């Protein structure tokens, strides 16, 4: 019976294509080079590593291999699990799959990030590992918000050394270390972190009372944070992975759901140890039928838990693993590739891999430019951007240029330079409408009306129009953690008079929030629209008055964002039904709306090298290529080789022109006095072969522009 069902499903997928089956097979193989075709056609029942250099068409190969499994090997789409590193990569892969498969087949493939794959398993079988139905998932900002208030009660001994974001990252790393206790993990991390921050390399300091106190406070905070999540029936992002792994290990049949036959993993070099354990459970289900795609030369996330040994570990676990190399670059000029390879080849431990392009001529050599002072370096970049745009015969505009920085602070500073020069720019990541304070605080009431256990949303509402101060919120968080109840339950205790020492403002805020939520629920069950509910919240909280009092300088912009939210609520066409479902759908609609990419064409892009991974621009500038930036001055705990790989990733974002700039000196602030200090060239560029770069600006002649148009497809 089951076999007949599978045959019927396969007929649906093969006959409902818009084009004949034979043409579909030809379609997904069309235009592939030899190694790409070999990777796509490789037998699916054997483990495969596709080692794909930058710009070698890995996304095309991934989607073609997925299509080939369905079209050429009769795999049910629902039996394939494809795991990506980002939501953006999932969306891009799905969009390309629609070119080769019909919508039914594409939608049935289990395609998503590690987090979304684990989320789907936990939604179905979470109770098997003590995850209650209807659990919430707190995003990074929500977790940091909670940790900020939980850490305040620990006192200055903790908060003077650790920001809430650092605490979140530390606790995520603790959860990643599945083989050791939280106490041991925290003890190891705090010694390393405090050693770095205080620049104290004396090993005896590791046993000091201060270290012991920090470890004790952090462990207490870790458990307090864990209890807060549990009381709210919530998971953070790392919990999704660890609980997902628990499920796959404890309930082996869960991974068999849908008769999983093949696993495909994108950006394998970015996989953490915990994520690899999940992959391992999945390929147990497929009996070793797995394809991974990645590039060890682009492993730049070790600080975030990425494990650069996963390629070797996979070969150890699956000895029959084969390798296929993708080495033909379709993105960059030969000159840019030559310089990038010269940088990455300085790593003597790196397995030798080639990267080449068939584009001719070679194109202008990358520019390596040294200026006297920082101001001159900034002026040079501005001058070159204007010169390129002016002299490119409309081949290149401002939107084709990117400036890649080592950190966000440098990008912030350079944005002012472009602003003063009158050059249009955008700085990524750009905050979406749903990330604006005035929108989050408004939406918080809707989310609480559906589920008042959402502690971060309670904090948003209290800090927003209910205007409760930080100290009072921290006190409430302390009470909720002490009683192991949700923050909303703590508010109800206040309202019920159980906590007699509560200040009047807290009682007032509690009463107002509880009353508003009761009315919102009543309105929902009467069929009120999301727009009507938002209007009620604004009126009940005197929202605009709150914004005017607290945001005098930019009230107009914030009021416009509130109005935009209401307009989206009016445009939203949800089901007309009673209860919370229309609001749930509206919130989903707003979340998806905030994820829509806005490319802002015509603007220079500013972002970090880490964020630039997977992207490309015709013209790329990498400023501050000096010692202390590449490699970073904090890199004693990070591999120097990873720092080199980061610069390699930055260089390989460029399609036509690449600039590596630096200034000989910079100004630093010493006791309020600006002091000029010497800067030295990065060791990564200092030893570049002279024939791989030039010191002067490239000529924008006909020969160069013809090559650029060919690469960019703008003939």
* In a shared domain, residues 438 and 313: no
Q: Torsion angle, CA of 56/59/64/67, rounded to 10 degrees?
A: 170
Q: How far apart are CA 579 and CA 244, in angstroms?
A: 31
Tell me, yes or no, whether 665 lies in a domain.
yes
* In a shared domain, residues 228 and 340: no
* In a shared domain, residues 199 and 217: yes
Long-range contacts (CB closer than 8 Å, 24 or more residues apart) made by 155-160: 155/217, 157/213, 157/214, 157/217, 158/214, 158/217, 158/218, 158/221
* In a shared domain, residues 588 and 467: yes
Tell me, yes or no, whether 237 lies in a domain.
no
Strands 617-622 and 401-405: parallel
pLDDT the model gives residue 6: 41
The kind and range of the H/E element at 197 are helix 182-198
List binding-site positions for ATP.
52-59
Final residue before a domain boundary, out of 208, 232, 256: 232
Helix (H, G, I), strand (E, B) or coil at 499: coil
Final residue before a domain boundary, out of 259, 291, 326: 326
pLDDT the model gives residue 597: 56
Helix (H, G, I), strand (E, B) or coil at 655: strand
Q: How far apart are CA 60 and CA 64, in angstroms?
A: 6
Place of tokens 């920090």: 214
Query: What six digits make up the tokens of 458?
Result: 């309670």
DSSP code of 55? T
Q: At what angle do helices 58-73 and 21-29 cross, to 10 degrees?
A: 160
DSSP code of 697? P
Helix (H, G, I), strand (E, B) or coil at 567: helix
CATH number reported for the structural domain that contains residue 18 in this entry: 3.40.50.300
Tell me, yes or no, whether 533 lies in a domain.
yes
* In a shared domain, residues 186 and 106: no
* In a shared domain, residues 80 and 197: no
pLDDT < 50 positions in the chain = 1-26, 200-206, 637
Could you please report the per-residue DSSP string of 60-99? HHHHHHHHHHHHHH---GGGEEEEESSHHHHHHHHHHHTT
DSSP code of 352? P
Tell me, yes or no, whether 506 lies in a domain.
yes
Helix (H, G, I), strand (E, B) or coil at 44: coil
Neighbour count for residue 326 (Cβ, 10 Å): 24
With 0-12 / 13-18 / 19 or more C-beta atoms within 10 angstroms meaning exposed / middle / buried, residue 525 is exposed
- Please report, for residues 185, 333, 584, 587, the alpha-carbon distance to residue 574 in angstroms, rounded to integers and kept in the order given: 47, 49, 10, 11
Q: Which of 365, 354, 537 is nearest to 441 (CA)?
A: 537
* In a shared domain, residues 158 and 203: yes
Q: How far apart are CA 435 and CA 426, in angstroms?
A: 17
pLDDT the model gives residue 572: 83
Residue 425 pairs in a beta bridge with 604
**Do 325 and 38 touch, CB atoms closer than 8 A?**
no
* In a shared domain, residues 571 and 631: no
**Do 679 and 623 touch, CB atoms closer than 8 A?**
no
Tell me, yes or no, whether 95 lies in a domain.
yes
Q: Which of 230, 228, 227 is nearest to 135 (CA)?
A: 230
Q: How big is the chain by its Cα radius of gyration, in Å?
A: 28
CATH number reported for the structural domain that contains residue 469 in this entry: 1.10.486.10
* In a shared domain, residues 425 and 438: no
Domain containing residue 153: 137-232
Q: How far apart are CA 529 and CA 357, in angstroms?
A: 56
For 390, list phi and psi in degrees, rounded to 5: -70, -40
With 0-12 / 13-18 / 19 or more C-beta atoms within 10 angstroms meaning exposed / middle / buried, residue 673 is exposed
Q: How far apart are CA 297 and CA 25, in angstroms?
A: 32
Q: How far apart are CA 489 and CA 493, in angstroms?
A: 6
Query: What six digits make up the tokens of 537?
Result: 């919240």
**Do 211 and 202 touch, CB atoms closer than 8 A?**
no
With 0-12 / 13-18 / 19 or more C-beta atoms within 10 angstroms meaning exposed / middle / buried, residue 683 is middle
- Please report, for residues 151, 222, 450, 455, 473, the alpha-carbon distance to residue 476 in angstroms, rounded to integers and kept in the order given: 13, 18, 22, 11, 5
Residue 617 pairs in a beta bridge with 654
pLDDT the model gives residue 1: 42
List binding-site positions.
52-59
Quickly count helices (H) and strands (E) in the chain.
31, 15
Does the pTM exceed 0.75? Answer: yes
- Please report, for residues 155, 641, 642, 659, the alpha-carbon distance to residue 621 in angstroms, rounded to integers and kept in the order given: 44, 22, 20, 5
Could you please report the per-residue DSSP string of 251-285? -GGGGGTT---EEEESSGGG-BHHHHHHHHHHHHH
* In a shared domain, residues 352 and 384: yes
* In a shared domain, residues 291 and 322: yes
Query: What six digits make up the tokens of 233?
Result: 């029936």
pLDDT the model gives residue 599: 56
Q: How far apart are CA 284 and CA 281, in angstroms?
A: 5
SS (H, E, C) 418-443: HHHHCCCEEECCCCCHHHCHHHHHHH
* In a shared domain, residues 297 and 412: no
**Do 477 and 150 touch, CB atoms closer than 8 A?**
yes
> How many angstroms separate the most distant Cα atoms in the chain?
82
Q: How far apart are CA 361 and CA 393, in angstroms?
A: 19
Tell me, yes or no, whether 131 lies in a domain.
no
Q: Where are the alpha helices (DSSP H) in 613-662?
A: 640-651
Query: What six digits make up the tokens of 616?
Result: 């490309």
Q: How far apart are CA 137 and CA 580, in angstroms?
A: 19
Q: How far apart are CA 488 and CA 646, in angstroms?
A: 44
Final residue before a domain boundary, out of 594, 619, 645: 594
Structural domain count, the chain: 4
């Amino acid at each position: 019976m089951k076999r007949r069902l599978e045959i019927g499903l396969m007929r649906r997928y093969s006959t409902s294509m818009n084009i004949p089956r034979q043409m579909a097979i030809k379609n997904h193989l069309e235009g592939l080079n030899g190694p790409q075709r070999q990777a796509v056609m490789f037998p699916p029942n054997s483990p495969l590593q596709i080692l794909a250099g930058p710009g070698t068409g890995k996304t095309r190969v991934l989607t073609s291999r997925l299509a080939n499994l369905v079209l050429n090997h009769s795999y049910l789409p629902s039996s394939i699990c494809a795991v990506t590193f980002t939501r953006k990569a999932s969306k891009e892969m799905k969009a390309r799959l629609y070119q080769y498969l019909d919508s039914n087949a594409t939608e049935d493939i289990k395609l998503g990030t590690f987090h979304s794959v684990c989320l789907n398993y936990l939604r179905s079988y979470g109770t098997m590992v003590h995850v209650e139905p209807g659990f919430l998932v707190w995003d990074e900002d929500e977790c940091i918000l909670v940790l900020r208030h939980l850490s305040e009660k620990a006192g200055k001994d903790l908060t003077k050394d650790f920001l809430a974001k650092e605490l979140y990252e530390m606790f995520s790393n603790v959860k990643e270390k599945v083989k050791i206790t939280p106490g041991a993990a925290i003890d190891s991390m705090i010694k390393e972190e405090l050693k770095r921050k205080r620049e104290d390399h004396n090993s005896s300091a590791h046993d000091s009372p201060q270290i012991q106190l920090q470890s004790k406070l952090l462990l207490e905070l870790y458990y307090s944070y864990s209890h807060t999540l549990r009381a709210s029936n919530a998971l953070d992002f790392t919990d999704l992975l660890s609980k997902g792994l628990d499920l796959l290990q404890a309930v082996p049949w869960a991974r068999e759901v849908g008769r999983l036959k093949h696993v495909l993993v994108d950006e394998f070099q970015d996989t953490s140890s915990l994520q690899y354990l999940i992959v391992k459970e999945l390929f147990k289900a497929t009996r070793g039928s797995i394809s991974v795609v990645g590039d060890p030369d682009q492993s730049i996330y070790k600080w975030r838990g990425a494990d650069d040994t996963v390629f070797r570990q996979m070969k150890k676990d699956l000895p029959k693993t084969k390798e296929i190399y993708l080495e033909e670059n379709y993105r960059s000029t030969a000159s840019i590739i030559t310089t990038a390879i010269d940088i990455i080849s300085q790593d003597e431990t790196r397995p030798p891999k080639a990267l080449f392009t068939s584009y001719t001529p070679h194109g202008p050599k990358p520019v390596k430019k040294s200026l006297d002072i920082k101001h001159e370096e900034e002026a040079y970049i501005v001058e070159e951007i204007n010169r390129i745009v002016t002299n490119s015969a409309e081949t290149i505009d401002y939107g084709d240029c990117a400036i890649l920085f080592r950190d966000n602070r440098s990008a912030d500073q350079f944005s002012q330079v472009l602003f003063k020069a009158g050059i249009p720019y955008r700085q990524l990541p750009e905050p979406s409408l749903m990330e604006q304070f005035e929108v989050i605080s408004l939406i918080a009431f809707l989310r609480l009306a559906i589920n008042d256990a959402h502690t971060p949303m309670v904090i948003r509402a209290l800090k927003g129009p209910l205007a409760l101060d930080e100290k009072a919120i921290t006190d409430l968080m302390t009470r909720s953690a002490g009683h192991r109840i949700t923050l909303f339950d703590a508010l109800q205790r206040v309202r019920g008079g159980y906590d007699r020492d509560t200040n009047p403002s807290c009682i007032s805020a509690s009463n107002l929030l509880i009353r508003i939520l009761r009315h919102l629920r009543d309105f929902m069950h009467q069929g009120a629209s999301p727009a009507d509910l938002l209007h009620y919240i604004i009126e009940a909280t005197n929202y605009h008055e709150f914004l005017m009092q607290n945001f005098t300088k930019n009230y107009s912009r914030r009021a416009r964002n509130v109005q935009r939210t209401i307009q989206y609520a009016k445009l939203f066409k949800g089901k007309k039904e009673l209860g919370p479902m229309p609001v749930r759908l509206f919130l989903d609609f707003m979340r998806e709306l905030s994820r829509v990419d806005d490319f802002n064409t015509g603007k220079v892009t500013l972002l970090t090298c880490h964020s630039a991974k997977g992207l490309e621009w015709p013209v790329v500038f990498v400023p501050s290529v000096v010692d202390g930036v590449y490699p970073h001055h904090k890199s004693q705990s990070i591999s120097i080789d990873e720092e080199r790989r980061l610069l390699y990733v930055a260089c390989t974002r460029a399609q036509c022109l690449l600039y590596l700039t630096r200034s000989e000196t910079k100004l630093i602030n010493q006791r309020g006095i600006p002091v000029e200090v010497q800067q030295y060239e990065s060791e990564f560029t200092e030893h570049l072969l002279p024939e791989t770069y030039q010191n002067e600006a490239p000529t924008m002649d006909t020969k160069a522009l013809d090559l650029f148009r060919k690469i960019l497809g703008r003939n």
